A and B are shown apart, each in its own frame.
Chain A
Amino acid sequence: MKRRGEASGPVALLWLGPALILIAGVVVYPAVELVKASLSRYSITGLRKGDAGLENFRGVLANESLGTVLTNTLVWVVAVVVLTILISLGVAQFLTKDFWGRRVVRWAVIVPWAASLVITARLFSLIYSYYYGTLNALLLKLHVISTPIDFLGDDRWIMPSMVAVGVFVSIPFTAYVFVAGLHAIPSDVYEAARIDGASPWKVWRLITLPLLRPAVLVATVLNMIYVFNSFPIIYTLNESNPGFGHDTTITFMYKLAFKSAEKDVGQSAAAGLFNVLLILVAVVVYLRVSRWREEEQS
Chain B
Amino acid sequence: MNGTLSWRRIRPAAMPVIGLAVALAFLWPYLVMLLDAFRPSGDVVTTPASILPREWKWTTFSEVVGDERFRAWLLTSVVVAVASTVIVVLVAVPAAYFTARFRFRGRIAFLFLVLITQMFSPTSLVVGIYREFFSLNLVNTYLALILTNAAFNLAFAVWILHGFFASIPKEVEEAAELDGCGPVTRLRRIMLPLTLPGLVTATIFTFIAAWNEYVVALTLMLDDSKKPLTVGINSYVTGYEQNWDQLFGASIIAIVPVVILFAIIEKHLVGGLTAGSVK
Q: Do A and B have CB atoms closer than 8 angstroms in the complex?
A: yes
Contacting residue for A9 out of B104, B128, B255, CB 8 A: B104
Alpha-carbon distance A18/B98, docked complex (angstroms): 13
How many inter-chain residue pairs (CB < 8 Å) link A and B?
Answer: 314
Alpha-carbon distance A118/B254, docked complex (angstroms): 12
Contact assessment for B197 and A231 in the assembled complex, using a CB-CB cutoff below 8 Å: no
Contact assessment for A29 and B132 in the assembled complex, using a CB-CB cutoff below 8 Å: yes
Contact assessment for B18 and A222 in the assembled complex, using a CB-CB cutoff below 8 Å: no
Contact assessment for B27 and A222 in the assembled complex, using a CB-CB cutoff below 8 Å: no
Contact assessment for A180 and B15 in the assembled complex, using a CB-CB cutoff below 8 Å: no
* B142: interface (CB < 8 Å): no
* A201: interface (CB < 8 Å): no
The interface residues of chain A lying within 8 Å CB-to-CB of B90 are 18
Q: Which of A31, A168, A232 has the most CB of B within 10 A?
A: A31
Which of A53-61, A66-74, A128-136 forms contacts with chain B?
A128-136
Contact assessment for B154 and A109 in the assembled complex, using a CB-CB cutoff below 8 Å: no
Contact assessment for B159 and A222 in the assembled complex, using a CB-CB cutoff below 8 Å: yes
Alpha-carbon distance A181/B118, docked complex (angstroms): 22
Alpha-carbon distance A170/B230, docked complex (angstroms): 19
* A293: interface (CB < 8 Å): yes
Q: How far is the CB of A237 from chain B (nearest CB, A)?
A: 13
Contact assessment for A99 and B19 in the assembled complex, using a CB-CB cutoff below 8 Å: yes
The interface residues of chain B lying within 8 Å CB-to-CB of A254 are 123
Alpha-carbon distance A129/B166, docked complex (angstroms): 47
Which residues of A in the span 114-138 have a Cβ within 8 Å of any Cβ on B?
114-120, 122-124, 126-127, 129, 131-134, 136-138
* B65: interface (CB < 8 Å): no
The interface residues of chain A lying within 8 Å CB-to-CB of B103 are 2, 5-7
Alpha-carbon distance A113/B36, docked complex (angstroms): 20
Contact assessment for B49 and A23 in the assembled complex, using a CB-CB cutoff below 8 Å: no
Contact assessment for A180 and B198 in the assembled complex, using a CB-CB cutoff below 8 Å: yes
Contacting residue for B44 out of A4, A105, A108, A126, CB 8 A: A126
* B188: interface (CB < 8 Å): no
* A294: interface (CB < 8 Å): no
Which residues of A in the span 125-175 have a Cβ within 8 Å of any Cβ on B?
126-127, 129, 131-134, 136-138, 141, 168, 171-173
* B164: interface (CB < 8 Å): yes
- The chain A residue with its CB closest to the CB of B212 is A116
Which of A76-84, A202-210, A239-247, A274-282 forms contacts with chain B?
A274-282
Contact assessment for B102 and A97 in the assembled complex, using a CB-CB cutoff below 8 Å: no
State the interface size on chain A (CB cutoff 8 A). 105
Extra inter-chain contacts (16) besides given A22-B147, A31-B125, A110-B258, CB under 8 Å:
A4-B177, A5-B101, A5-B102, A7-B104, A15-B95, A23-B114, A30-B125, A114-B258, A119-B230, A119-B247, A123-B248, A132-B47, A179-B197, A254-B123, A293-B108, A296-B166
A residues lining the B interface (CB < 8 Å): 2, 4-9, 11-12, 15-16, 18-20, 22-23, 25-27, 29-34, 37, 91, 94, 97, 99-120, 122-124, 126-127, 129, 131-134, 136-138, 141, 168, 171-173, 176-177, 179-181, 183-189, 214-215, 218, 221-222, 225-226, 229, 231-232, 250, 253-254, 265, 268-269, 272, 275-276, 279-280, 283, 293, 296
B residues lining the A interface (CB < 8 Å): 11-12, 15-16, 18-20, 22-24, 26-27, 29-30, 32-33, 36, 44-51, 87, 90-92, 94-95, 97-99, 101-108, 110, 113-129, 131-132, 147-148, 150-152, 154-156, 158-160, 163-164, 166-167, 177, 197-198, 200-201, 204-205, 208, 211-212, 214-215, 229-230, 233-234, 237, 244, 247-248, 251, 254-255, 258-259, 262-263, 266-267, 269-271, 273, 275-277, 279
